[in-house]
Structure 1
């Protein structure tokens, strides 16, 4: 090979993900032999991660229950994706920003977002119940992939102003079929925006399986064509997730360009409480993934290493239950809503059409047609 060909090959390899998802823990929580180059995270951070994962799952359970009580219009459970979301939240610095989807509530809770405020959108009383600037968390995005463009533009602007900010953009496998996904990756690569694209590949875009979405060797390989650092990881392996995400943050913060990380995971529950997952996936498939539960895996590892005692496990569980009780109580408080808010924050100068709509609603309320 010529020197040019050798350099091109080396550059190409630099962007290639591993042949198989990075893994450090077997499903039973025991160590596996791994050729991965990533430094394993410390036991102290794994304990912190375990605590956050227990709290995250308890939050998810409570939010699911709130839909049955009529307190939430809908809730998209992320049970089974705790390792992906918690690792993402814990790897960031306080100056960094998250750009989440509707399913990333556990990551927001781990970031410190007030849980009652977090559920404001799903309860239907506010567009975004929390202050994004307070937590450095953008509003949860329901349309697929649009938040990737927001994250990329934000990251680019922060870099232009000389700020040490990393933007972490969440998405699912379904979002990689959207045009916004490719536009975001291309812009981020060309302008070296400090953004991490975390693809939580849970196997389904609602009911559409991955095989009907992509023929690529992995979704991480999609970054190679754009010249983006790419990796795939066992998303149910907490050690692997934390190790890969730590490296991704360091890579991006060192101004080496954007990164895409594909986390192979699984959505244990239905798409939302309004979905019947039995129509498109079989029970034995779900059972197979239940055996790879990320929380059980980390529990077994920490217990086997003598780092998690029965007393500490109970303490963490009691703490998570207390948080759930506080959330339940907060969601049972009736919220005061002002119909004017539907129009107040759309434009700084309202359009004629918006003014007409506001007057129509005001007239219907005055006439007692709406309450």
Structure 2
């Protein structure tokens, strides 16, 4: 499906340069190595929980790579580590949420242009539309991009967000990563018609269904969507078709609802290996480049792990100090009781 009109100029259709293609691969291998390492960290007790994204690297890196961090804003869920890495977010600060030392990440959302990690299913979609509407009211050209999964697309918040965005022509890209599963429920059992992108027509929103395992295709689709929004033409829906290889989270057992054989059969080609073969075939990269990219990814992962292990617990008073701009008597009473029980003061 592709109902997005062609751009007014051809800038968005310019092919990626060899340098950009190699950069995309380096990002994907860094994300892959950090993602699989994070699962190991959870098993080792370094972090208490993590939501893997194995198999979704192309969808995340390709879309995050397209963001203009001088004017756009991204609203993630709890599984957009690859987007954060592609946007240049400090990964120790990002992973602090998975370490449970800070809710939403220690990075600065205003400078990184990545909103705090959102654990409420579809909650980030409403925030994205609100921010994008503010851009319209201020006469600015920033675009918001909201991430959510095929499962979250069945939430009422997505309906409200899409309807408001369509009516008000807010510059927001609704980026759905359809990884085939809403935790343990397959897409066909919770998305009527089997397509999230098809729903966009009901709101008068143009939509693109893209191969979410093809990083170049994702970059191109996201560029077109951003150009459409930036031109004041309203929102766009992108559905990136990919596959969740592995569990929903480190507390999930996918063997309870699908077999390993099913996973192998349904997942298709590994997006990282697929891109590697493409770069080799096109003469864009050689084996030395791939070896260097992997070595850099391993060194980066080691530095991030060291940084995460060094993170100390946050002051408990932040539970009360950062709730309201002006505190309330009830909150003050809770803070006093907490200090008596935990700090004995």
TM-score strictly above 0.5: yes
Q: Distance in 2 between matches of 1:57 and 1:14?
A: 32
Which position in structure 1 is the counterpart of 2:122? 145
1:40 and 1:240 in contact (8 A); partners too: no
Of the three residues 73, 76, 84, the one matched with 1:100 is: 76
CA distance in 2, matches of 1:305, 1:289: 27
Report the counterpart of residue 6 of structure 1 in structure 2. none
Q: Residue 237 of structure 2 aligns to a residue in which SS?
A: strand
Please name the residue that 2:335 is paired with: 358
Q: Distance in 2 between matches of 1:192 and 1:334?
A: 43
Partner of 1:121: 97
What secondary structure, in the 3-state scheme, does the structure 1 residue paired with 2:295 have? Answer: helix
Partners of 1:14 and 1:293 lie apart in 2 by: 28
Deviation string 1:123-146 (CA, Å, 9 cap, x unpaired) is 111123211011010001101111
For residues 1-371 of structure 1, what are the structure 2 equivalents within 5 Å?
Answer: 14=3, 41-94=16-69, 95-127=71-103, 128-367=105-344
More divergent stretch after superposition (103-112 vs 213-222): 213-222
Q: Residue in 2 aligned with 1:30?
A: none
Structure 1 314/103 Cα, relative in aligned 2: closer, same or farther at 3 Å?
same
C-alpha contact 2:150 2:191 (8 A) present in aligned 1 = no
2:210/2:217 contact within 8 Å kept: yes
- For residues 290 and 211 of structure 1, what CA distance do their matches in structure 2 show? 16
- Contact 1:232 1:264 (C-alpha < 8 Å) held by counterparts: yes
Which ranges of structure 2 fall in alignment gaps of 5 or more residues? 6-11
Deviates more, 1:177-186 or 1:91-100: 91-100
2: CA distance, partners of 1:66 / 1:116: 13
In the alignment, the residues of structure 1 paired with residue 49 and residue 141 of structure 2 have an alpha-carbon distance, to the nearest angstrom, of 37
Whether the 8 Å CA contact 1:38–1:244 is kept in 2: the answer is no
Q: Take 1:15 and 1:50, find their aligned partners in 2: how far apart are those partners? A: 27
Distance 2:102 2:194 in 1: 41
Compared CA separation, residues 334 and 219, structure 1 to 2 (3 A)? closer
SS at match of 1:182: helix
Pairwise CA distance, 1:333: 1.0
Partner secondary structure for residue 273 of structure 1: coil
Distance across 2 between alignment mates of 1:328 and 1:62: 9
Runs of 4+ in 1 over 6 A off after TM superposition: none
Cα displacement string for residues 71-106 of structure 1 (whole angstroms, at most 9, x for unaligned residues): 211100001000110011111112211100000111
SS at match of 1:123: coil
Partners of 1:176 and 1:356 lie apart in 2 by 40
Question: Cα distance, 1:351 vs. partner?
Answer: 2.2
Aligned residue pairs, count: 336
Structure showing greater Rg = 1
TM-score by length of 1: 0.87
Quote how far apart the aligned CAs of 1:323 are. Answer: 0.4
What CA distance in whole angstroms lies between the structure 2 residues aligned with 1:40 and 1:306?
16
Q: TM-score, normalised by structure 2?
A: 0.93
